[in-house]
């Protein structure tokens, strides 16, 4: 391709990339909406199944303690959507934000790595949101932190200690499909950025040769 053809393809790629970023921002909102539904349902499952499974411990709690636990549990459920919004307002969970390629020999492989990392980031955010269930289970003796088989761990997140759920999480199809769409989108945008990187490299070489030819 001549210089003008290369410049034209770069410009077309830039338009495509801009459109993909806009699509990512819309998809981000859809994913968060589905995460809210999942987290609320999963918190109910985690807490209520533990109350039922550890029936002897539940019976050993006083009426006042159970009443207090129930009130806190309801408060957690009521504020769950806000908690999800709070966690997922951080761009670190969203691979598409300021997405860049690293110009090295593994530039092609980066796309696959980042596709996987995009899913890991979203799942990490979900596990933080599920940490809400851990707090009430810890407070009322259903869970111990730091044990070998403990489901929750305390880690520092943005200078504050937060509980995070450590067990495997199975997403409902509606949410999983959106997450996979997002991750595949990361692979696609990487292809366009990778293509632009190579085109700009080629353009630079052509312009240098043109400069030399016209010297």
DSSP secondary-structure letter at 157?
Answer: E
- Burial (CB < 10 A; 0-12, 13-18, 19+), residue 138, is middle
Return d(Cα 34, Cα 30) in angstroms, integer: 6
Q: Whole-model pTM?
A: 0.88
Question: Residue 45 above 90 pLDDT?
Answer: yes
- Tens-digit pLDDT profile for residues 173-193: 999 999 999 999 999 999 898
Nearest to 204 by CA among 103, 102, 107: 103
Q: What is the pLDDT of residues 70-107, one digit of tens each?
A: 999 999 999 999 999 999 999 999 999 999 888 876 88
DSSP state letters, 161-179 = EEEEE-S-----HHHHHHH
- Note the pLDDT of residue 213: 63
At 118-144, the pLDDT tens digits run: 999 999 999 999 999 999 999 999 988
How far is Cα 55 from Cα 110, in angstroms, rounded to an integer? 49
Q: Tell me the average pLDDT of the chain.
A: 90
């Amino acid at each position: 391709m001549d210089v003008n053809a290369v410049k034209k393809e770069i410009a077309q790629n830039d338009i495509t990339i801009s459109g993909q970023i806009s699509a990512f921002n819309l998809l981000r909102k859809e994913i968060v909406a589905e995460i809210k539904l999942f987290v609320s349902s999963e918190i109910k499952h985690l807490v209520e199944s533990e109350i039922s499974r550890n029936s002897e411990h539940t019976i050993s709690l006083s009426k006042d303690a159970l009443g207090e636990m129930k009130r806190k549990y309801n408060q957690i459920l009521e504020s769950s959507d806000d908690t999800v919004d709070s966690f997922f307002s951080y761009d670190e969970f969203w691979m598409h934000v300021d997405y860049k390629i690293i110009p090295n020999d593994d530039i092609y492989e980066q796309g696959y790595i980042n596709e996987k990392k995009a899913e890991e980031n979203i799942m990490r955010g979900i596990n933080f949101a599920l940490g809400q269930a851990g707090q009430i289970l810890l407070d009322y003796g259903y869970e111990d932190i730091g044990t070998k088989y403990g489901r929750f761990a305390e880690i520092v997140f943005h200078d504050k200690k937060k509980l995070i759920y450590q067990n495997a999480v199975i997403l409902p199809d509606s949410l999983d499909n959106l997450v996979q769409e997002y991750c595949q989108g990361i692979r696609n945008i990487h292809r366009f950025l990778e293509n632009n990187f190579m085109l700009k490299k080629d353009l630079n070489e052509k312009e240098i040769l043109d400069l030399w030819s016209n010297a």
